[in-house]
Structure 1
Amino acid sequence: MLSGLDPSGGAGIQADIQAITSLGGHPLPVLTCLTVQDTNNVYGAEAINPETIRQQLECLAKDIPLHAVKTGAMGNAAVVNVLMEFLESRPDLPLIVDPVIKAAGGGDLADNELVDAMRSSLFARAEMITPNGVELLQLGDCDSDSESQAADKLLSAGCKSVLATGGHGTGPHIINTLYSTEHEPMHWELERIGANEYHGTGCTLAAAISAGIASGLSARAAISQAQNYVSRTLLSALTIGQGQRVPNRGIPWER
């Protein structure tokens, strides 16, 4: 997986490592950016040298079989270009994209150039992208507040499937919806755990989906397993700072 470092340990590459490991996978962490953040917000980010990332990807691929790639915060457009070049010779390698744009506290994790690079190349290559509601409306460049219209625009632009996650909403239930070019929208309704948002649930969900797909599950089965896993992590969420609580990804997991 390619993702950023969250020094609070709530989101980013640490969330990916913990979730994938919990679900029986072996993560190969490639760092894309360093961030200044805590459980409240993101205050700054600096991308890793893209050439270092290129060398890491090629080095890993020569030694270890790859079964899926998951992305989070990408740092800048140059990192996206490096990943796309790496994937050119691996057309069958599944790619799950968590299009991280903003932290839950509102801090930016992507500039316009990075967003354009994701839209123009990364999304069309991905098997699935997993935006939350706020990200979906921004990425879909939709004039209304209709998530379905935004998802349709992304599908029309080349996305294979869009899992619109509902964790940033309100109400007693979370509704996650999978939009696809191959079938009608599929909905999952989950009980909302707690009254507030959590730090790192989007990373955890996308990483868990990638672990399922890497193990051979269908997209639908991987989503179901990942949602169950995330719910378990939130039932015993950790209060580690003064901001949002963090999923407890260290819980024992049984399939």
Structure 2
Amino acid sequence: MTALGCHPLPVLSCLTVQDTRNVYNATATDPDIVRQQLECLAGDTPIHAIKTGALGNADVVDVLVDFLANHPDIPLITDPVIKAAGGGDLADEALIARMKERLFRHAEMITPNSIELALLGENEDPAQAARKLLNAGCQSVLATGGHGEGEDIINTLYHQSEEPSHFYVERVGGEYHGTGCTLAASIAAGRASGLSAGAAIDQAQDYVLRAIRHALRVGKGQPVPDRGIPWQS
């Protein structure tokens, strides 16, 4: 977000034990502490977009939904983090159910990868899974294509009443630690800066591609995208 011209205001919702290989443990922050963080920041600083990731547990979702009810005009980009790339769990069944029941309807866009989309939409076909989520109240679903094959990654934005929009970006190949998080955060930065959803996705894809091309081999597992590289839109 900093690289894309925004100032992030982190709210800690989940503490993890992880490295570049996997997530080994995770615990949610006390929901009241999450509430206090949100209220403290909102009372001091204008908030132009919100991006969510690993939320910890269902009670944290309730706190966030309460906050969003009082700030309905802030664009919400939700990365429905369920599993780490190494297979470690970051969401239990109660959290997944609460996101589907209460959170997704508040999100301008959710950004599941193919595995998350199939689980959330209860269908292996991306279009049908996305349609089920839209019918349940999601405003839009960006089905990310990083787990697929082919020369290009194809990210598909499904809308409530429009034909899907397809966004193409070069596929570098390999697995990287945190690309989904980086994409969602970059989209939120674009929306905070006043870009349309489509323009924010375009900018985010270009940024993630650049970060992957300069990925850092910091541990024994997946390389980490270099998010600190200079960026010009």
Question: TM-score interval w.r.t. the shorter chain?
Answer: over 0.9
| 1:21 partner SS | coil
What aligned pairs does 1:183-202 form with structure 2 within 5 A after superposition? 183-194=162-173, 196-202=174-180
SS of alignment partner, residue 175 of structure 1: strand
Q: Which runs of 5+ in 1 are unaligned?
A: 1-19
Match status 1:163 vs 2:148: no
1:120 to 96, 101, 121: 101
| C-alpha distance after superposition, 1:78-107 (max 9, x if no partner) | 000000011111111111100000011111
Q: Which residue of 2 aligns with 1:214?
A: 192
Deviant stretches of 4+, over 6 Å: none
> How much is the aligned-residue C-alpha RMSD, in angstroms?
0.8
The answer (yes or no) to whether the contact 2:169–2:206 under 8 Å persists in 1 is: no
CA distance, structure 2, for counterparts of residue 171 and residue 245 of structure 1: 21
Partner of 2:215, secondary structure, is coil
The normalised TM-score by structure 1 is: 0.90
Match of 2:223 among 245, 251, 255: 245
- Which runs of 5 or more structure 2 residues have no equivalent in the other structure? none
For residue 86 of structure 2, the aligned residue among 105, 119, 122 is 105
Matched positions, count: 233
Please show how residues 123-142 of structure 1 align to structure 2 within 5 Å: 123-142=104-123
The answer to whether 1:232 aligns with 2:216 is no
The residue that corresponds to 1:147 in the other structure is 126
User: Identity over aligned residues, as a percent?
Assistant: 66
Is the partner of 2:36 in helix, strand or coil? helix
Distance in 2 between residues matched to 1:141 and 1:249, nearest whole Å: 33
Shift of 1:226: 0.3
Residue of 60, 82, 88 corresponding to 2:69: 88
